[in-house]
A and B are shown apart, each in its own frame.
Chain A
């Protein structure tokens, strides 16, 4: 039982990172933009939040955790939206190819974040690794009375606030895309921009806003990773990148539905961690288990394309840029 609870809690924590990424990406893709720069955007969000907390804790004699939390949160959103803006400007205004621009953004974002992540302390004249313990504690705070309710409390109330925020954002995004007028307009843009344009929808504005807001949400995944998941530190390397691609996979798995992304994200978390709870695995067979989320995603991709069901398809203009004069 304890094993099951610990598998489920680690799945929720893992799932939250990619849930942010996926919900942001769904919003972006619904406008017809396939933003493969999402891993880069998650990097930008992660490093911006971490660096803000780092400098705040360093230059303030007695840092207030709540203020540091607010500052780093805003910095992460701002940095990732800036990343989204670069992508939006290049693909929407300058009509550059979406895939190539996205991949460039991923290279840029991961380079910038890893560069500052590993040299921030050197640049600030210090030694050792970045550590923002106080701020990270604020991110991971939960209500002790609820979190202490045995297994039940552990499973539902022992997480930092961003776990619940992710669920809330996903539910709101689901409502927005499925029920609100603006959301339906957005989907029209992603399905057929020319028709949406003719109906009087400002295609450019919708694409810009969806891409930038989507990037802001995705970036929170990086923030959650640095300040909660790995407790206010930086790991140089491609950890966030592989999570970012997993989030892209999650978009497919959830068939472009934010609400479905919630349980899918936790399922990915279970698939990813399950090797820990199966006895008798060697160091190498563990790696085969880590393949599971990707294999399952391919399966979904193939099944969706075979069934051709109307509901589960990617937005029809996904990946194409729109130029009114070229109709």
Chain B
């Protein structure tokens, strides 16, 4: 055996210029779209270019479609914004799915029990309050155990999702309408009590406004406030934080209450602002997708807008294709998965430089 050098040499980059990093990501998306085109072509035998044209049509074809795309983007973004502080603290909040559901259930309860007696604005205020509270409680439970006993939060929050799902399933037969349907149906369909009002003639305008306001607020909170700074220190190193006199426990508990509350609020938006019903599909896997949105955006809430838009566009587009060919909506999950795999992989080429053996020899460091 002769001593040999590895064929590939990997070294950490000092940092890539931002526009080159975005070029790498763009290349990853393009590559992923080629792979997706292959998948779609193999299933439908449709010209890939016209596939993308009709995907565009599915997401932005009519003004109604544009608004539905915006509504869904706002929902995904809202959850992502909620997750951002937790992830910045390196607290793996996989429990958004459950936090959305408890927030949604709380909102539905307000709408159902208060629908006849309270005015709509009071229902909306009350719904906001209880959904924030329910989400916060759902986030606090694992946080307290993490802070006190270092209980693994990834697995804890994951389990909390299923508890929330079962609570939702428990409530549905109690609230079902019509009886025997095992579905809650549209709540307050006639009175529209507790529904988001139309703004500027658009049904989903309020959803978008609330979420954009949250996006800006969270950006400022994380970047310019003392609490935001504490979160990032705890995320970098708990020991450093302790040394600097930050109470790690308090930061964990406080941040998770905030994270859960915003995810709970997105449940409120989903129930009062778009679906007007509650089911286990109210979260519908968005809690998991938003994790990816928050992570890829590196906790920058403005970048989250772009990623959320991309994902919702793909989802709407794939659903359009699928319905054209009488196939199922699940095609959108396949396309989503492929794009995300490529984006995840591309981060490596941004953070590390890869050199082959020969080129490496010339620049051996002393």
A residues with CB within 8 A of B: 34, 36, 86, 90, 93-97, 99-101, 103-112, 114-115, 118-119, 122-123, 236, 242, 245-246, 248-249, 252, 282-285, 287-288, 290-291, 294-295, 297-298, 301-302, 305-306, 314, 319, 325-326
Q: Which of A99, A115, A306 contacts B94 (CB 8 A)?
A: A99
B interface secondary structure, majority: helix
| Total residue contacts A-B, CB cutoff 8 A | 162
A97 nearest in chain B by CB position: B295
Residues of B with C-beta under 8 A to A284: 169-174
Given A291-B163, A302-B149, A114 contacting B333 (CB threshold 8 A): yes
**A122 with B327, Cβ < 8 A, contacts A94-B345, A242-B162 known:** yes
Are B337 and A105 within 8 A (Cβ)?
A: yes
Known A245-B162, A302-B151; contact A107-B337, beta-carbon cutoff 8 A: yes
Contact at B333–A34, with CB atoms within 8 Å? no
Q: Cβ of B295: which chain A residues have Cβ within 8 Å of it?
A: 97, 100
Which of these, A94, A249, A314, contacts B159 with CB under 8 Å? A249
B1 at the interface (CB under 8 A from A): no
Contact call A248/B173, Cβ cutoff below 8 A = no
What are 29 contact pairs spanning A and B, CB under 8 A?
A: A36-B158, A90-B341, A94-B344, A94-B345, A94-B347, A99-B94, A99-B291, A100-B292, A103-B291, A104-B292, A104-B337, A104-B340, A107-B340, A112-B334, A114-B328, A115-B328, A248-B155, A248-B158, A252-B155, A283-B173, A284-B169, A287-B167, A287-B169, A288-B166, A294-B163, A302-B149, A302-B151, A319-B92, A319-B154
Whether a CB of chain A sits under 8 angstroms from the CB of B288 is yes
A242 to B162, CA, bound (A): 8
B330 touches A118 (CB 8 A): yes
Given the known inter-chain contacts A97-B295, A108-B334, A248-B155, please indicate yes or no for A326 contacting B166, CB distance below 8 A.
Answer: no
- Does A290 contact B173, Cβ atoms closer than 8 Å? no
B24 CB to nearest A CB, Å: 13
B237 interfacial by beta-carbon distance below 8 Å? no
Known contacts being A115-B334, A326-B12, is A100 close to B173, with CB within 8 Å? Answer: no
CB contact under 8 A between A104 and B145, given known A94-B348, A112-B334, A122-B326:
no
The answer to whether A118 touches B328 (Cβ under 8 A) is: yes
Which 7 pairs across A and B sit closest by C-beta, in order of nearness? A111-B333, A108-B337, A287-B169, A94-B348, A284-B173, A305-B151, A115-B330
Known A-B contacts A119-B327, A236-B328, A326-B12; the reply to A314 vs B152 at CB < 8 A is yes
Report whether A285 and B170 are in contact in the complex, using a CB–CB cutoff of 8 Å.
yes
B285 touches A107 (CB 8 A): yes
- Helix, strand, loop or mixed for chain A's interface? helix
Answer yes or no: B240 CB below 8 A from chain A CBs.
no
Assembly CA distance A220 to B167 (angstroms): 30
Q: Which residues of B contact A114 (CB under 8 A)?
A: 328, 330, 333
**Which B residues touch A94, using CB under 8 A?**
344-345, 347-348
CA distance A302 to B150 in the complex (A): 9
How big is the B interface, by class?
A: 35 or more
Report whether A115 and B327 are in contact in the complex, using a CB–CB cutoff of 8 Å. yes
- Give the distance to chain B from A303, nearest Cβ to Cβ, in Å: 10
Bitwise, B222-247 to A at CB < 8 A (1) or not (0) is 00000000000000000000000000
Asked whether B137 is an interface residue with its Cβ less than 8 Å from the other chain, the reply is: no
Give Cα A103–Cα B291 distance, bound, in whole angstroms. 9
Is B177 engaged at the interface, CB distance under 8 Å to the other chain?
no
- With A103-B292, A111-B337, A319-B154 as contacts: A302 and B328 at CB distance below 8 Å: no
Judged by a CB distance under 8 angstroms, whether B193 is at the interface is no
- Give the CA-CA distance A115 to B329 in the complex, in Å: 7
Q: Which residues of A contact B289 (CB under 8 A)?
A: 107
Do A291 and B166 touch across chains, with their CB atoms under 8 A apart? yes
* Least distance between B71 CB and chain A CB atoms (Å): 21
The distance in angstroms between the C-alpha atoms of A128 and B331, with both chains bound, is 20
Flag if B149 contacts A305 (CB, 8 Å).
Answer: yes
Per the 8 Å Cβ criterion, residues 310-359 of B in contact with A are 326-328, 330-334, 336-338, 340-341, 344-345, 347-348, 351-352
Which residues of the other chain, B, contact A287 by a CB distance below 8 angstroms? Answer: 166-167, 169-170, 173
The answer to whether B338 and A108 touch across the interface, beta carbons within 8 angstroms, is: yes
- B17 CB–A CB distance under 8 Å: no
Q: Is B47 an interface residue (CB 8 A)?
A: no
- Whether B67 sits at the interface, judged by CB under 8 Å, is no
Task: Output the nearest chain B residue to A122 by Cβ-Cβ distance.
Answer: B326
Q: How far is the CA of A109 from the CA of B285 in the complex (A)?
A: 13
Known: A246-B162, A283-B182. 17 other contacts (CB 8 A): A90-B344, A94-B345, A96-B347, A97-B295, A100-B291, A104-B341, A112-B330, A112-B334, A115-B328, A115-B330, A118-B327, A249-B155, A284-B170, A284-B173, A287-B167, A305-B150, A314-B152
| Minimal Cβ-Cβ distance residue in A for B146 | A305
User: Known interface pairs A112-B334, A298-B159, A319-B154. Does A305 touch B170 (Cβ–Cβ under 8 Å)?
Assistant: no
- Decide if B156 is an interface residue (CB 8 Å cutoff): yes
The answer to whether residues A101 and B163 also contact, given A114-B330, A122-B326 and a CB cut-off of 8 A, is no
Binary A-proximity of B129-173 (CB < 8 A = 1, otherwise 0): 000000000000000010001111011101111110111011111
Residues on B with C-beta less than 8 A from A288 are: 166, 170
How long is the Cα–Cα vector from A236 to B331 in the complex, in angstroms?
13
Is B7 interfacial (CB-CB < 8 Å)?
no
Decide yes or no whether B11 CB sits under 8 A from chain A: yes
Residues of A within 8 Å of B161, CB to CB, are: 245
Given A96-B345, A103-B288, A248-B158, decide whether A295 and B163 contact each other with a Cβ distance below 8 A.
yes
CB of B43 within 8 A of chain A?
yes
B327 touches A294 (CB 8 A): no
For the complex, what is the distance from the CA of A226 to the CA of B330, rounded to whole Å? 18
Smallest CB–CB gap between B73 and chain A, Å?
17
Beta-carbon nearest neighbor of A295 in chain B: B163
Question: What's the Cα separation between A305 and B145 when bound, in Å?
Answer: 9
* Residue of B with least CB distance to A236: B328
Q: A123, B330: Cβ atoms under 8 Å?
A: no
Cα distance A274–B150 when bound, in Å?
33
Interface hits, B177-208 → A, CB 8 Å: 182
Chain B residue at smallest Cβ distance from A109 = B337
Select the residue from B166, B174, B292, B330 with max chain A CB neighbours within 10 A. B330
Measured between C-beta atoms, what is the minimum distance from A54 to chain B in Å?
Answer: 16
